[in-house]
Amino acid sequence: MHEYSLVTALVESVEREARTRGASAVVAVRVALGRQAGVDADLLRTAFELRRAGTLCARAGLELRHVDCTWECRACGTPVAAERALCCPSCGAPARMVTGDEIVLERLELEVA
């Protein structure tokens, strides 16, 4: 379960930012989570609830913004449909993932006294 180590990194980043801004508490945290990030959303929430205790995030809500997978050709940039073979319909080159593998802290809401 790597979700716990990801949440540890999340809480550390959030606390660092909150302290820099002199916040007394974190109200909300938003994370962009790709459909193929290799992270289970429920496990991430559970891990966050365990890990936030005793930190500035103790009362913070975790919002997950799920990001669908999109692909394009590595060579010519043509969009590639994800349900088919992962190669370009026009030039045959391998595709690359454009979105769908992100695990990114996107937004915070802080309480500043």
Rounded least distance, CB 54 to other proteins, Å: 20
Rounded least distance, CB 22 to other proteins, Å: 10
Site string for other proteins, 50-79 (x = CB under 8 A): ---------------------x--x-----
61-79 in b/e form (b: 16+ CB < 10 A) is ebebeebeeebebeeeeee
Residue 11 near residue 105, CB atoms below 8 Å: no
Q: Between residues 57 and 108, which has the closer beta carbon with respect to other proteins?
A: 108
